[in-house]
């Protein structure tokens, strides 16, 4: 379990990239994980189906906070397909694979999470929240 919370992952969580709230968001969704108490709110603004602004409020463990920070760093400009590809990259890491090169390469920091099944939902929750926010957009 000690390699789960390596210093690079802790720094990523502490960076809190994208943390905060958008006023007003175009869409906002809050999801939680009742098993561990993680809660993530994703606010987005979209134009032409692409994320133009994103903010998150994360009351969660380090893994979930770090996943939200990765999203905060790289989600602007994504559409639903781009987000699906990012989530697939995260899922690949949970299955022991490698993330793609480029912006989402930071997902490699989550490789130790693959060994701890109870933390998989912690990595997934910010991605699920963002997908739900994109789906909730009616404009």
Report the CATH number that the domain containing residue 15 is assigned in CATH.
3.90.1010.10
Residue 139: its pLDDT value, please? 53
Q: Which of 28, 111, 13 is nearest to 68 (CA)?
A: 13
- Please name the residues in contact with 35: beta carbons below 8 A apart, sequence gap of 6 or more: 118, 121
Q: What is the pLDDT of residue 2?
A: 53
Q: Which domain holds residue 32?
A: 2-136
The reported pTM is 0.93
What are the tens digits of pLDDT across the range 78-129? 999 999 999 999 999 999 998 888 889 999 999 999 999 999 999 999 999 9
What confidence score (pLDDT) does residue 102 get?
86
Percent of the chain with pLDDT over 90: 84
- Contact yes or no for 125/60 (Cβ under 8 A): yes
Domain count, the chain: 1
């Amino acid at each position: 379990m000690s390699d789960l919370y390596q210093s690079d992952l802790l720094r990523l969580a502490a960076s809190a990239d994208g943390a905060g709230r958008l006023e007003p968001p175009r869409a906002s969704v809050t999801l939680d994980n009742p098993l561990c108490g993680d809660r993530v709110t994703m606010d987005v603004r979209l134009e032409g189906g692409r994320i133009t602004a994103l903010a998150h409020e994360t009351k969660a463990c380090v893994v979930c906070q770090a996943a939200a920070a990765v999203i905060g760093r790289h989600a602007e400009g994504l559409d639903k397909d781009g987000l699906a590809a990012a989530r697939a990259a995260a899922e690949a890491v949970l299955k022991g694979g490698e993330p793609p090169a480029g912006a989402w390469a930071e997902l490699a920091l989550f490789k130790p999470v693959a060994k701890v099944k109870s933390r998989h939902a912690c990595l997934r929750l910010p991605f699920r929240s963002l997908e739900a926010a994109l789906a909730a957009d009616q404009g």
